[in-house]
Structure 1
Amino acid sequence: MFDIGIEKFALLLVLAVIIFGPDQLPRVARQAGQTLRQLRRLAANATSDLKEGLGPEYADLDLADLNPRRFIQKHLIEDVDEPRQVERLGAGLHGRGRAPYDTEAT
């Protein structure tokens, strides 16, 4: 989820000790953990309420599929059969090379 190496984690820990002090740090960490659990619970409840409100025809709805990148990948790129077409489609999306509908070069 987060790309934090050991060096960055150590730096964050030192900053937390400096800002909150060694005696207040356990209390702050406990409160942060409780807040994170509450946010996760809230998100899970919102997701289940949304699925329940949509009805049984949307029971298999995966909200991650609504991410624009994943949506494009699922509906455009997975439908392409040949690897060459995938390369051309990617080049067309990034503005490099020919567009995927350019048939003169084939």
Structure 2
Amino acid sequence: MFNDIGALEIVALVVLAVLIFGPDKLPKVIQDVSRTIRKIREFSDSAKADIREELGPEFKDFEFDDLNPKKFIRKQLDNDELGLKEIRNGFDLKKEMNEVADAVHGRGSDDSDSSSEASATSAGGARVDMQKKSAEPKKLDAGDRPPFDADAT
């Protein structure tokens, strides 16, 4: 529960508690807090027992920790009835991402390079730069209306 609290934070909390409650009231506050935590745990345990009793004998091996999504996934991956380990080991995410990036940037095998060059060449044989944008927007005359962009409105 308190895995990420260091010694310095605990000391700071104790000093803060002494300053807020005072040394005479602090033992009473600690007793009240511990009693409240104990009652919450008892309530939780009785609720778990009631749920197990209501579920019946089919769910005797049911654990409430299985409801945590991370633990559920780990348990299913360890079970491996579906052959998920083979799929997971056969899938190299870095390799797949590099292949996609190469395809997007036009790098890769010789076939993809020649096809990208062919698509970038116009019908007249001149090479067209597909990434170059027009330098200046078109100037409007005095009576002309600006172009309408339905997606922008």
Whether TM-score is above 0.5 comes out as yes
Sequence identity percentage: 41
70, 81, 84: which one aligns with 2:85? 81
Q: For the residues of structure 1 that align with 2:27 and 2:69, how far apart are their CA atoms?
A: 39
Letter in 2 for 1:81: K
Amino acid at match of 1:7: L
Q: Show the counterpart of 1:104.
A: none
SS in structure 2 of the partner of residue 4 of structure 1: coil
TM-score when normalising by structure 2: 0.53
Counterpart of 2:29 in structure 1 is: 28
Higher relative contact order (CA 8 A, sep 6+): 1
Other-structure match for 2:53: 52
Structure-1 separation of matches of 2:27 and 2:38: 17
Alignment partner, residue 7 of structure 2: 6
Q: Which runs of 5+ in 1 are unaligned?
A: 100-106
User: 1:52-71 deviations in whole A, cap 9, x for unaligned?
Assistant: 01111111110101111111
The alignment status of 1:62 with 2:63, answered yes or no, reads: yes
Query: Larger C-alpha radius of gyration, 1 or 2?
Result: 2
The one-character-per-residue Cα deviations of 1:13-55 (angstroms, maximum 9, x if unpaired) are 0000011111000000000000000000000000000000111
Deviates more, 1:24-33 or 1:66-75: 66-75
TM-score (norm 1): 0.75
User: Aligned AA for 1:73?
Assistant: R
Question: Structure 1 CA distance, aligned partners of 2:70 and 2:19?
Answer: 40
Q: Distance in 1 between matches of 2:95 and 2:9?
A: 39
- Alpha-carbon displacement from aligned partner over 1:63-85 (angstroms, at most 9, x marks no partner): 1011111112221x322335x82
